[in-house]
Amino acid sequence: MFPRSWKPASPPPASKRRRTFLEEADDRAQQALPVEFESDLRQTVLRRLLSDAPPPSAAFNLDSVLSGVSYRAMLENLFGGTDPHEVPAVPVLCRAYEESLMRQPMAGEQPCVLDQNCECMLVDRRAPFVGVELRLPGDPDGRQMCVLCTRMVTQKCFYDMCCLGRPAPGVIQRYGNIFGQPGEYSVECMLVCPPSFGLACMPLPAMSHQRNRYSVVVQGSVKSLVQHRVGHEDFHSPSSTGAA
């Protein structure tokens, strides 16, 4: 049926296809991590997100990830443990406040606890920077994660929880976001806990994290981020909003 010289097309090389999250995490895991960490929080997050990342060819055992002691310790260290029957009090942040903190630290402010592994470093490799920490009421002493790193960790925990099919062992969000209103986020961009998991691990919708939704701008000498196609108006026309 086919000419003798015909050969099936070979798959595109790995460099030509879109890299997955796990492949990027594996590459980052190969980089040398600092010997000393400035806090237990940074140590826990880095080890979980980088050192424990499986190679792309290996099976991703979500059960061992979620039930592991280090994973549970990470959740409790980042967001605090909670009674499975009790809905935790989680603050709500508006889009404008979040965007005011998507930038470099200014005088008197602290950088993100992940330092050179901060997500802000990876948005535009031509203009990397470490984001300013996001502090919330009740946060413990020591530096905290920035807005992007908080989103990234919450989203990773969310995906692990959904793939495993059972609630996470702790609260996976530091705060929730407003959506569905003018000037706020669109529901299409939100992470929402499945009803079957209850509200103990994720009581409020939270903005998802996607690097191609950000771009770096420089105002004066301060690098900051602009978000793209995340707003309520980007997905819903004013006429449909008014009709609703």
pLDDT in tens, 179-214: 999 999 999 999 999 888 888 889 999 999 999 999
Q: pTM for this structure?
A: 0.68
Name the H helices within 47-146. Answer: 62-67, 69-79, 95-100, 120-123
Instruction: Return the pLDDT at 59.
Output: 32
In eight-state DSSP terms, residue 50 is I
The pLDDT tens digits for 143-152 are 999 999 999 9
- pLDDT category at 31 given cuts 50, 70, 90 is very low
Among the ranges given (108-112, 170-174, 226-230, 234-238), the one the predictor scored with the smallest mean pLDDT: 234-238
Q: How many CB atoms lie within 10 A of CB 137?
A: 5
* Mean pLDDT in residue range 230-236: 93
Q: How many CB atoms lie within 10 A of CB 41?
A: 19
Taking the CA of residue 54 as centre, how many other CA atoms within 13 Å lie in the half-sphere pointing to its CB?
A: 9
Instruction: Return the pLDDT at 169.
Output: 82
Alpha-carbon distance of 66 to 164, in angstroms, equals 8
pLDDT of residue 33 exceeding 70, the answer is no
In eight-state DSSP terms, residue 157 is H
